[in-house]
Amino acid sequence: KKFVFMFDQAGSSEKELLGGKGANLAEMTRIGLPVPYGFTISTAACNAYFEAGQVISSQVEMQVIEALQTLEAKTGKRLGDPTNPLLVSVRSGAVHSMPGMMDTVLNLGMNDETVEGMAELTNNSRFAYDSYRRFIQMFSNVVLGLDNYYFERHLEDTREEKGYHSDTELTAEDWKQVIKEFKTIVLTYTKKSFPEDPREQLFLTINAVFDSWNNQRAVLYRRLHHIPGHLGTAVNIQSMVFGNMGEDSGTGVAFTRNPSTGESELYGEYLINAQGEDVVAGIRTPQPIASLEQDMPDVYQQLLETCQLLENHYQDMQDIEFTVESGKLFILQTRTGKRTAQAAIRIAVEMVRENIMDKRHALLRVDPDQLDQLLHHRIDPEHNLTKLAAGLPASPGAATGQVVFDADEAEVLSKDGKKVILVRPETTPEDIHGIVASQATITSRGGMTSHAAVVARGMGKACICGCESLKINLDSKQFNVESTTVKHGDTITIDGTTGEIFLGEIPMIEPELSDEFKLLLSWADEETKMGVRANADNSVDAQKALEFGAVGIGLCRTEHMFMDSSRIPTVQSMILSETMEERKEALDKLLPMQQQDFETIFETMQGHPITIRLLDPPLHEFLPDKEDLLIEVTKLQMKNADASELQEKQNILRKVRLLEESNPMLGLRGCRLAMIHPEIYEMQVKAIFNATANVMKRGIKVKPEIMIPLVSHVNELKEMRQLVNQMAEQAKDETGQEFDYQIGTMIETPRAALTADQIAEKADFFSFGTNDLTQTTFGYSRDDAEGKFLQHYVENNVLPRNPFVSLDQEGVGKLVESGVELGRKANPVLKTGICGEHGGEKESIQFCFDLGMDYVSCSPFRVPSARLAAAQATI
């Protein structure tokens, strides 16, 4: 088997085998660009190395030696030859680029003899010794595992002693001395002398570079970017070119376009008389690429042309590493450049305008996940920041405000025009008004799909969850992070995109949907075969949804309408009522409010479809907290308060206890609630039809899609369907209006998915509620799972991803798939969609598209990225 490939031998598009760096070096060699010659050891060899227990097989070893001989013949130099030594770099390079995460060694082949040869050959002993000490430093760090600090500290001492400001001032003699001391450092810390045999150096380094696939940084980077751990890295061995030969040499990095703004201009930095790692390590401040035009006009011109050529060749913005040796340009690497969302969009749009690619390709160039960045306020990156703490980045965007610890207070202060940030140990639905009123929310407990996070994201509000280092003291109204105390009223700034919390106020930059962004999304819509709807519970969200290009509402939750503080008393008296009469009375009061809610949403949506989900959460969520009540009762008793007041509180407490469930998530909620108390859904359905009739009279078409939550047996839906139809009949009689409506259900329990054929006979549409379906399929309670073990699972690869963020296609996805298939078989005109958090996530969207769903629905702020993802799924 072939494990080693010369740059001019490798076939094209073998990224899997050669890694990104190797494949592109081979490609550039074939194009005829000035690439120092070399060869690539494949990722397959890396995997074989690990399988054999971190041993390079003799087969690979032989192929490496053979390739080395080819390289020696081609360059006319030999590894270890004292009169004409070959020096090489040994470079990592994985399939997915992980810049700087793995290891590379330069100037390999240097020893006490070859350094003399180099000095003589180049007539430049300073250069030779500088290269040698660089090699000792890198090799010791990468291969021998010595901290670079020992060497840097020694260098610093030397500079100080000699009164130098930078390394370039060190003479050949100085370097000779440094090298001696470097070797002593190696001997002291490794108990072995520095290996002088170049072959030994080579194979030790190859081992080390393979090993660097599993170093901490690389593992973390892979986890963050969902790069699988089994791919392995290739190793590139390449003859050295020297940017440290003098004033007519140098090294640098160039982007073919500005990666921050997307502007079409050469963007980069370089250093004269230096080697590659100097630019990134920041030992010296590099110069802007523009001044290269003065320093080396010919090289600059050639670099410009090469950049153009590479960008056209790869049809994407390139990030290029180059080195100039005695006035001659060499290209050492090219890869697709990482960029901000803003830049990504501008580059995609301009590349279409410049006829470099067509629209469909341009759409694939932008990552939907990145678009979030564009829709929220951002911290001015130019500003200096002092970080206080960090939690889970639950909802992106940045915000500044005064710290408050109470939802009611947040509401009061914000009505006075104050900007506040709500800090809570955790949040419950009772805090929603506080979240609404605040600029942002921070919790010290709970994960990224906690209630607070879901709500905050829905509103496009920044939110940080599970910030464990915050020690909140609600009594003294302050929180501590280690020794820092932040008091009620103090100003802080948070970045929901990174999960960071800062002290004080930091200036913000306004988000705006650029014209280019809108244009790109309009191209997306031309391709899309699946609708993107939004989850919206009120007219403000509905308006946002339309603005962001949603084609309708896929999930209008009705419980949030009950949480308004002015309605809560009525809602509570409905729940607490002892008799049917009492309950009906309370419901009669809620009816006009609910009807008004629907009217404004219908009007806002101007005929676009709306799926309304009837009441879903357990009733106790609308009641006061038991502990709070208990305290109140005790206080009243102590005060010898008015008997009737005490009795009332006690009564509420009794009811709260009665409604208490040991597992509310699996208790009396959703359609089960309506099976026991049909009058609640009757009121809601009546409100829907009354609102429909009124809005239709104003000339707006409304075709409500009424959705029954949490069905697990067809009989539940059968009964609810009857209820809705009856109410429609009744409303028709009362208003004289004919209604065009649909009745559907959420598919959010495994049983519903497994019996979807039976259920589909009673449903006009299915909406897969993948949040609950994930909970019930895994048997995880989301709120408990995220904080307690899910993070551990993901970090330790027990689960590839958090299933509440990206749909678990193997498990939950199977249920969704069978749900769609069974449903369609029984009811060919069944409409299907998804409305969980997953509806806005690109991989889940692809999955829904592959199943032939009609639409996905997500929070309004995710609609733009979902539109792009839906287009990408189609292409």
Give contact residues for ligand ADP (rule: CB under 6 A).
36, 89, 91, 99-100, 104, 106, 238, 240-241, 251, 276-277, 321, 323, 332-333
Q: Find out whether 356 and 472 touch, Cβ atoms under 8 Å.
A: no
**Sole residue written with tokens 């009794």:** 654
Q: With residue 492 as reference, give the H or E element that holds it.
A: strand 491-495
d(CA 491, CA 798): 40
Q: Which is nearer to ligand ADP, 321 or 632 (CB)?
A: 321
Which residues belong to the active site? Answer: 451, 835
Q: Does 500 bind Mg ion (CB under 5 A)?
A: no
Task: State the minimum distance, in angstroms, from the CB of residue 280 to Mg ion.
Answer: 8
Report the SS3 class of residue 716: helix
Task: Compose the 250-289 pattern: x for residues touching Mg ion by CB under 5 A, - for all others.
Answer: ----------------------------------------
- Structure tokens belonging to residue 811: 């498990």
- Structure tokens belonging to residue 478: 């302050």
- Strand-pair partners of 421: 403, 440
Task: State the minimum distance, in angstroms, from the CB of residue 504 to ligand ADP.
Answer: 36
Which residue's CB atom is positioned nearest to Mg ion?
A: 772
Q: Which is nearer to Mg ion, 462 or 710 (CB)?
A: 710
- Strand-pair partners of 766: 745, 832
d(CA 337, CA 97): 10
- Structure tokens belonging to residue 6: 């010369």
- Contact stretch for Mg ion (CB under 5 A) within 163-171, 330-338, 776-784, 832-840: 330-338
- Structure tokens belonging to residue 402: 């005064």
174 interacts with, out of ligand ADP, Mg ion, none, CB within 5 to 8 A per kind: none
Amino acid found at 348: A
CA geometry: angle 648, 560, 737, nearest 5 deg? 105
478 interacts with, out of Mg ion, ligand ADP, none, CB within 5 to 8 A per kind: none
The pair phi, psi for residue 5, each rounded to 5°, is -130, 125
d(CA 388, CA 494): 10
Q: Which is nearer to ligand ADP, 268 or 458 (CB)?
A: 268
Q: Find out whether 401 and 507 touch, Cβ atoms under 8 Å.
A: no
d(CA 642, CA 875): 71
Task: State the minimum distance, in angstroms, from the CB of residue 330 to ligand ADP.
Answer: 7
Q: Which is nearer to ligand ADP, 39 or 602 (CB)?
A: 39
133 interacts with, out of Mg ion, ligand ADP, none, CB within 5 to 8 A per kind: none
Which residue's CB atom is positioned nearest to ligand ADP?
A: 276
664 interacts with, out of Mg ion, ligand ADP, none, CB within 5 to 8 A per kind: none
332 interacts with, out of Mg ion, ligand ADP, none, CB within 5 to 8 A per kind: ligand ADP
Task: State the minimum distance, in angstroms, from the CB of residue 181 to Mg ion.
Answer: 29
425 interacts with, out of ligand ADP, Mg ion, none, CB within 5 to 8 A per kind: none
Tell me the angle at which helices 125-142 and 172-190 cross, rounded to the nearest 10 degrees: 20
Nearby residues of 527 by Cβ (< 8 Å), 6 or more positions away: 360, 363, 871, 874, 875
Q: Find out whether 822 and 760 touch, Cβ atoms under 8 Å.
A: yes
Which of 374, 342, 354, 359 shows the shortest CA–CA distance to 874?
359
Q: Which of residues 736-795 bind Mg ion (CB under 5 A)?
A: 748, 769, 772
d(CA 259, CA 257): 6
**Sole residue written with tokens 């290009």:** 549
392-395, strands of its sheet edge to edge: 387-390, 500-503, 491-495, 398-404, 420-424, 440-443, 462-465, 392-395
Report the SS3 class of residue 300: helix
The pair phi, psi for residue 803, each rounded to 5°, is -70, -10
Report the SS3 class of residue 422: strand
Which stretches within 746-805 are classed as H helix? 750-754, 756-760, 770-778, 782-785, 791-795
Nearby residues of 395 by Cβ (< 8 Å), 6 or more positions away: 453, 456, 457, 460, 461, 462, 463, 496
Amino acid found at 102: M
d(CA 797, CA 321): 34
Report the SS3 class of residue 503: strand
111 interacts with, out of ligand ADP, Mg ion, none, CB within 5 to 8 A per kind: none
- Strand-pair partners of 334: 320
Q: Which is nearer to Mg ion, 269 or 772 (CB)?
A: 772
d(CA 337, CA 348): 13
**Sole residue written with tokens 């065009």:** 740
d(CA 746, CA 828): 18
Report the greatest alpha carbon distance in the chain.
105
Task: State the minimum distance, in angstroms, from the CB of residue 333 to ligand ADP.
Answer: 5
Amino acid found at 723: L
535 interacts with, out of Mg ion, ligand ADP, none, CB within 5 to 8 A per kind: none
769 interacts with, out of ligand ADP, Mg ion, none, CB within 5 to 8 A per kind: Mg ion
Report the SS3 class of residue 657: helix
Half-sphere exposure of 875 (CA within 13 A, CB side): 19
91 interacts with, out of Mg ion, ligand ADP, none, CB within 5 to 8 A per kind: ligand ADP
Report the SS3 class of residue 236: strand
d(CA 110, CA 175): 14
36 interacts with, out of Mg ion, ligand ADP, none, CB within 5 to 8 A per kind: ligand ADP
Q: Which is nearer to Mg ion, 833 or 864 (CB)?
A: 833
Nearby residues of 237 by Cβ (< 8 Å), 6 or more positions away: 38, 39, 40, 41, 64, 67, 68, 71, 88, 89, 90, 91, 202, 206
The contact set with Mg ion (CB under 5 A) reads 333, 748, 769, 772
